[in-house]
Copies of this chain bind each other. A is one copy, B any other.
């Protein structure tokens, strides 16, 4: 009892804190949802419903009305009721739409849909969600050719997403987008570096706070000899299919260039390590990626040594990578733990990972959480889940085990939830 009351008191304090969400996939031109279809269209629900047996064709039928789509997904919700993802859905419906049942089912979903749609139709819905969720700023993940116009960049903070540059420069459309965005026609390694520099220029002028990339488990950043880089660039420009070695060289060259730009433009470089794309090719949109746990941060040894001025907030996809992340952050000044990503973003893993980080990484080097959301409504239940776990760990490991005062534990929690976001990304 005492322990649960303590935890509750700590949680109350954490819940009072206004947040900055340092990694999302929000479209700032349509940040909030318009109906339940926007929420349940999130890949967590479509992929789980598909995993439970709903054919992809029914979920992704061209021209499907959002309400009909929700109706189809609802048929599978009972099979998913145990998942933490469905608990987020219920919490959103409870908190935003006053939903009071314990499950969304055939009997109640239509009323819920209509209620939600009416609520979301309010002109200030986006602001309501931000306020109710306690969100002050939301970091984006912008395509490298995003003009960054037409939205409030002091609320929606740009971040430069670079996957396409590193892994798809061999595709003509990537190069066209790059040329259009920068005015630079890439003819060689030097003009490629020039073009990338212009992207950094554009992004930092628009208030960007990070460069970000997701990486496959076997990626190993290394400095590339200029002559090798040149050969790889020329091959890519020739529109011939690159050999794997060549394209690995090109990826490394672009990646290394990004790190150099992060030094020059003083941007943190968010690394999201470990995802294999398109593993399940028959899966729904964004529900095809998985991972190979046989990866190691030792692959980043050369990078961390070469760029002491760049801060690397690191997310790992595999929970078995967490101890390496703890240890590398404990040793390397420029390595910072960052959130609980995707397949590791469930309470069973968050609790273990949060606990080990708080026990062994300097408190100033931990970004507690980000929502990774596509629609604004998700920050509320995701941060709520994290704060409950954080409050538990603070209560048990710090107040009870180590005799800390409650206030000291709360301050530690607030630092990882918000203070470090400001310190690491600038604010």
Q: Which residues of A contact B (CB under 8 A)?
A: 1-2, 47-48, 50-53, 76, 79-85, 87, 102, 276, 279-283, 287-298, 301, 304-305, 308, 318-321, 323-324, 326-333, 343-344, 346-349, 352, 355-356, 358-365, 388, 397-398, 401-402, 404-405, 408, 412
Q: Residues of B contacting A397 with CB < 8 Å?
A: 347
Q: Is the CB of A331 within 8 A of B283?
A: yes
Q: Residues of B contacting A2 with CB < 8 Å?
A: 1
With A333-B52, A349-B323 known as contacts, the answer to whether A362 contacts B80 (CB < 8 A) is: yes
Q: Residues of B contacting A287 with CB < 8 Å?
A: 331
Q: Residues of B contacting A408 with CB < 8 Å?
A: 102
Tell me, rounded to whole Å, the shortest Cβ–Cβ distance linking A104 to chain B: 14
Q: Is the CB of B82 within 8 A of A51?
A: no
Tell me, rounded to whole Å, the shortest Cβ–Cβ distance linking A362 to chain B: 4
Q: Residues of B contacting A52 with CB < 8 Å?
A: 333, 362, 364-365
Chain B residue nearest in CB terms to A56 = B333
With A276-B298, A298-B292, A412-B82 known as contacts, the answer to whether A346 contacts B360 (CB < 8 A) is: yes
- Complex Cα distance A305/B401, Å? 43
Can you list 27 contacts pairing A with B, beta carbon distance less than 8 Å? A1-B2, A47-B330, A50-B333, A51-B329, A51-B333, A81-B412, A82-B358, A83-B359, A83-B360, A83-B361, A83-B362, A83-B363, A84-B359, A102-B404, A279-B301, A280-B304, A280-B305, A282-B305, A283-B331, A292-B296, A294-B294, A323-B344, A326-B343, A330-B343, A343-B360, A346-B360, A347-B401
The residue among A321, A360, A364 with the most chain B CB atoms within 10 A of its own CB is A360
Tell me, rounded to whole Å, the shortest Cβ–Cβ distance linking A386 to chain B: 13
- Complex Cα distance A349/B348, Å? 12
Q: Is the CB of A293 within 8 A of B305?
A: no
Q: Is the CB of A291 within 8 A of B359?
A: no
Q: Residues of B contacting A289 with CB < 8 Å?
A: 331
Given known contacts A290-B301, A291-B327, A294-B296, what 12 new A-B pairs fall within 8 Å (CB)?
A48-B362, A82-B358, A83-B359, A83-B363, A85-B360, A102-B404, A102-B405, A280-B332, A289-B331, A291-B324, A323-B344, A348-B359
